[in-house]
Structure 1
Amino acid sequence: MGNSNNKTILFAASEAFPFAKSGGLADVMHSLPKALSKEYRTSVIIPLYQFIDKKKYGISSLGENTHVIMGKNDYFIELYGCQYEGVDYYFVYSPSLSDRPFMYGPPEEGYEDNAHRFALFCQAIIQLLKQKHFDLLHLNDWQSAMSALFVKEESSIDTKVVYTIHNMAYQGIFNKDTLDQLGLHHDYFTPERLEFYGDINFMKSGIAYADGITTVSPSYCGEILSPEFGNGLDGFLQFHSSKLKGILNGLDDDHFSPQKDMLLEKRYGPKKLKDKYINKKLYFRSIGFNDPEKPLFIFIGRFTWQKGIDILVDALNEMAQMPISISILGEGDLKYRQKLAKVALKHKNISLFFGYDESVSHKMYAAADFLLMPSLFEPCGLNQMIAMKYGAIPIVHGVGGLKDTVSPLEKFDAKADIGYGIVSKKKSAEALATSVQKAVSLFDDKKKLNRIILHNMNVDFSSRKSAERYSELYTELLQNSP
């Protein structure tokens, strides 16, 4: 794999691009192990969902079958594997985990047995660690967090554990009875361990038992220690803050580059910015818009309160009356889909795509002049970085990773290694409409507009930076090994 280090890292997550993706976690589980594979022997383990195309990616059984007992039940587990872009991928097959049409459940709700499904996934990770030595296990979000506890229970495993919090809003909270169903001793049902207001909390396992904890941006790392962003775990995180660091996520330069992007009709870069306009004209033609001279504003993401979808919905009517075009791609709560559809029916300059389509999203970034990202909180966010690489200026709230990657236009410094956009401190529909009006004025000032676009396209948002920071953390933890 081209690395000079024999240290082995196993990443564990519920999704990884290109096999299974619902959000930014999947992108990071592709880009970070890939970036680190130059220095370490990296592997990734995820569930083998039934929709994953085994033939397309050359995924085959490793012939390693086992059984796991949780509570009173015996579960069959089979490991599959493949290699993709220099990284070894493991896939966990078990009927109750894998044989479902969705990763987590239908769009409106999670599966009732997700505690069992992902505890089983965590037990499968332990089985792999027993069969094959890894120096470090890097867990991500609540779905793999119980592995931290399971590792500490296994005296035969001497693997160091890092736990990354991608989003505090999703903690894996389940009924107390889940302890018995998973075969866990009630000693774990304490505030110092898994107990959370009478329930059990999978994320607490990662925080309590990992050797190192990270969040996906420096600003979010500070924010989650406060009640506003800590989602009930701010005090618990403060207690464990000595092992907490914020490391900004990055992009895979090969996947998110308008110069290399095979999904685009016309590739372009900072030196061929005029070719971006060709993508815009083609995109307008594909969605039935007929005035590419107007600025295009896009929104790509989940329709959830976190992403500020309420703010966007409330601002859309006013925005649609401006001389702009708006294109929205996403999936999520039915109530938001209905509200968006209702507004879009009134205005010919709004296009809607429900669902997620990787190809469409790339075409939207290439066509866009501005990205709408009014998140109420944002642990890191990749969309703003992708937009800037593709020459679209982000319109954001100054929170979390948005604060770390997008600086207000008023502070523009051509020498600074940070992107620039329209940043609002207020979180309201009125503030968003005002920001869009500012963007329209900026669009008319082509000299200033192009200066900002070119600067943003040249900022280094690559995963190489986060890989360097993680390498420092891994080295520190592994040096402290007994």
Structure 2
Amino acid sequence: MNRFLFVAAENDGITKCKAGGMADVVRDVPREISERGDEVHVVVPSYSRLHQGGRLRAKLNMLLRGNEYTAELYEVVPKKEFKNIRHYVVHHPEIQGGEIGHIYHDDPKEPFYTDNIKFTIFCTAVAEAIKQDAFGELDIVHLHDWHTSMLLFLKTYHPEYKSLKKMRYVYTIHNLAIQGIRPFANNYSSLANWFPNVPFDPKPLMDYRYHDCINLMAVGIRLADAVHTVSPTYKDDVLKPSNPPEFIGGEGLEKDLRAADNEGRLFGILNGSNYKNIRVAKKGKIYRNIVRALFSWLQDESKKYKADFLAHTGEKIMDYVDNRPEFIVASVARLTEQKFYFFKRSPEALVSILKILQKVNGVFILLGTGDPEYEKLFREISYQHKNFIFTNGQSEDLIDSLYLETNLYFMPSLFEPCGISQMLAMRNGNPCLVHETGGLKDTVEHLRTGFSFTGNTYDEKIENMVEAFELALRIYLTDKKQWKAIQANAKKMRFTWKKSVDQYYRNLYAISA
């Protein structure tokens, strides 16, 4: 039996611990591993809430800032029980949940300041738990994004954690753009403040742009035994330098990624999607679920500032209850530059799409929260265009309805390491319109399973995006046979975790099947 420890910031295997696609991966991969008879432990921060009702497994005493810190390791009840999987959270008063998904903090004045503090405490507590054998004997430690790469620093340089060197370390990159850059010294949220007595070589830790800073994403790439991007095309992309907005690639770390590739440590393996134990939704509930979500958000104190807008959205929806639209376009995503840069930079492109939809009694439904600039932009467009329905919040029931009842799922990501939304839409037989980048290129084939656009320049991409949308709508209206074939092909696609985890075992874990 092989024994794994998954260390991450998110885990949708437990309740209320999800902000993005990482949580789906950390939920699903252990389930696939457990089916092979291997043992998996999954640990995330408690964020001062997830430990409640859990069972205390260990007190973790560690030296930080020259002081003794005590964290607590709790075993918690998962959403679903699976043989050979155990879920844990680390609790400490300084590991607080932030405003993004009740997980991450947004520190615009000093990026990563608060998150680095809590993930430093978390990683040190996990190192102490491994040292104490709190998870039992381990063979492989699988780390996810910069939040967990401090473990690699600890096992490499910290004299207390030399015993951690005997395991194999795998590092998965979910979002290369977010790198966890902090000063080496002279700051409360710095490496020297938390580990004043640990000698280290700054070169393997250093950020290329800021030589007085550690780059925790780079630490993961440089020090792990295997490095993993979540799609094959994204692996190809990150080996090249970025040239935004025409191309998003290695984000300044392409030199490290090329070195990992040359050393045989870098692998591009597509994420899977879940095709069993699916949360079942009923068709025909989309408008009811929008109204229910709106009433729920209106009662939320934190959303009072946009109460007028939510009421405006409710009024628009009531018009569509009796006059059902002929065509529904939908997007579900956090409102970030990655997901909607094209619309922010060229709102006239979105307006063109809305005008095309208006001619056929079509609507565009966008669900999401995120960057205040993006929220403001989409609220303004909603006030100006009746057929743009901006559901500015989060609702699992409504998300299910959108994936189920959409005619065309729209995903114009500037870059996409893998993407899960297109897989969920295709699972329901809904064609997607995507930017031909990263995992979207690996999963959607133009005119066979969906629609895609690209271009050599930004302007070309915007022009081709609108043309691809017009093409999709034209096929829907005038060639039902071709549309149904694209739907059927989309529904047949299977991006299974079994296939992906087969490659994990062979390449990432170096375990022969």
Output the TM-score relative to the length of structure 2. 0.81
Aligned to 2:169: 161
1:96 aligns with 2:108: no
Q: What is the correspondence of 1:366-445 to structure 2 with a 5 Å cutoff? A: 366-409=404-447, 412=448, 420-426=449-455, 427=458, 428-444=461-477, 445=479
Q: What is the correspondence of 1:53-452 to structure 2 with a 5 Å cutoff? A: 54-55=52-53, 59-62=54-57, 64-84=58-78, 85-86=81-82, 87-98=85-96, 102-106=102-106, 112-130=113-131, 131=133, 132-153=136-157, 154-157=161-164, 158-177=166-185, 178-183=190-195, 185=198, 187-190=200-203, 192-197=204-209, 198=211, 199-228=213-242, 229-241=249-261, 242-255=264-277, 257=278, 261-262=279-280, 264-266=281-283, 278=284, 287-288=317-318, 289-290=320-321, 291-292=323-324, 294-311=326-343, 313-322=347-356, 323=360, 324-409=362-447, 412=448, 420-426=449-455, 427=458, 428-444=461-477, 445-452=479-486
Aligned to 1:272: none
Distance 1:305 1:159, change over 3 A: same
1-structure distance, mates of 2:430, 2:108: 31
Distance 1:36 1:429, change over 3 A: same
2-structure distance, mates of 1:282, 1:15: 30
Secondary structure at the counterpart of residue 89 of structure 2? strand
Counterpart amino acid of residue 168 in structure 1: L
Match of 1:36 among 25, 29, 33: 33
2-structure distance, mates of 1:280, 1:295: 13
1-structure distance, mates of 2:107, 2:328: 28
Distance 1:182 1:441, change over 3 A: same
Shift of 1:461: 1.7
Aligned to 1:468: 502
Deviates more, 1:70-79 or 1:31-40: 70-79
8 Å CA contact retained: 2:98, 2:106:
no
Distance 1:351 1:303, change over 3 A: same
Tell me the alpha carbon deviations over residues 251-291 of structure 1, each in whole angstroms, 9 at most, x when there is no partner: 12235x5xxx33x124xxxxxxxxxxx45676688743244
Tell me the alpha carbon deviations over residues 86-133 of structure 1, each in whole angstroms, 9 at most, x when there is no partner: 121110101101365631114968663322211111111112211232
2-structure distance, mates of 1:366, 1:52: 31
Counterpart amino acid of residue 178 in structure 2: Y
Tell me the alpha carbon deviations over residues 400-421 of structure 1, each in whole angstroms, 9 at most, x when there is no partner: 0011111111xx3xxxxxxx21
Match of 1:23 among 20, 24, 35: 20
2-structure distance, mates of 1:204, 1:475: 20
8 Å CA contact retained: 2:97, 2:105:
no
Counterpart amino acid of residue 265 in structure 1: K
Deviates more, 1:436-445 or 1:244-253: 436-445
8 Å CA contact retained: 2:3, 2:39:
yes
Secondary structure at the counterpart of residue 450 of structure 2? strand
Secondary structure at the counterpart of residue 11 of structure 2? coil
8 Å CA contact retained: 1:314, 1:429:
no
2-structure distance, mates of 1:127, 1:35: 27
2-structure distance, mates of 1:218, 1:319: 31
Sequence identity of aligned pairs in percent? 28
Distance 1:226 1:81, change over 3 A: same
The structure that is strand-richer by fraction is: 1
8 Å CA contact retained: 1:281, 1:292:
no
1-structure distance, mates of 2:173, 2:112: 22
Distance 1:354 1:73, change over 3 A: farther
Secondary structure at the counterpart of residue 60 of structure 2? strand
Distance 1:9 1:180, change over 3 A: same
8 Å CA contact retained: 2:179, 2:215:
yes
Q: Which consecutive residues of structure 1, in runs of 5 or more, have no partner in the other structure?
A: 1-5, 267-277, 413-419
Secondary structure at the counterpart of residue 97 of structure 1? coil
Corresponding residue pairs, total = 444
8 Å CA contact retained: 1:311, 1:432:
no
Shift of 1:143: 0.2
8 Å CA contact retained: 2:107, 2:114:
no
Shift of 1:307: 1.0
Secondary structure at the counterpart of residue 187 of structure 1? coil
2-structure distance, mates of 1:10, 1:373: 33
Distance 1:99 1:372, change over 3 A: closer
Aligned to 2:303: none
1-structure distance, mates of 2:115, 2:487: 43
Shift of 1:14: 0.2
Structural RMSD (CA): 2.3
Secondary structure at the counterpart of residue 68 of structure 1? strand
Aligned to 2:490: 456
Distance 1:107 1:22, change over 3 A: farther
8 Å CA contact retained: 1:193, 1:205:
yes
Aligned to 1:7: 2
Output the TM-score relative to the length of structure 1. 0.86
Tell me the alpha carbon deviations over residues 160-206 of structure 1, each in whole angstroms, 9 at most, x when there is no partner: 1000111110111112211211216463311x333432211111221
8 Å CA contact retained: 2:409, 2:430:
yes
Secondary structure at the counterpart of residue 340 of structure 1? helix
2-structure distance, mates of 1:83, 1:462: 26
8 Å CA contact retained: 2:43, 2:90:
yes
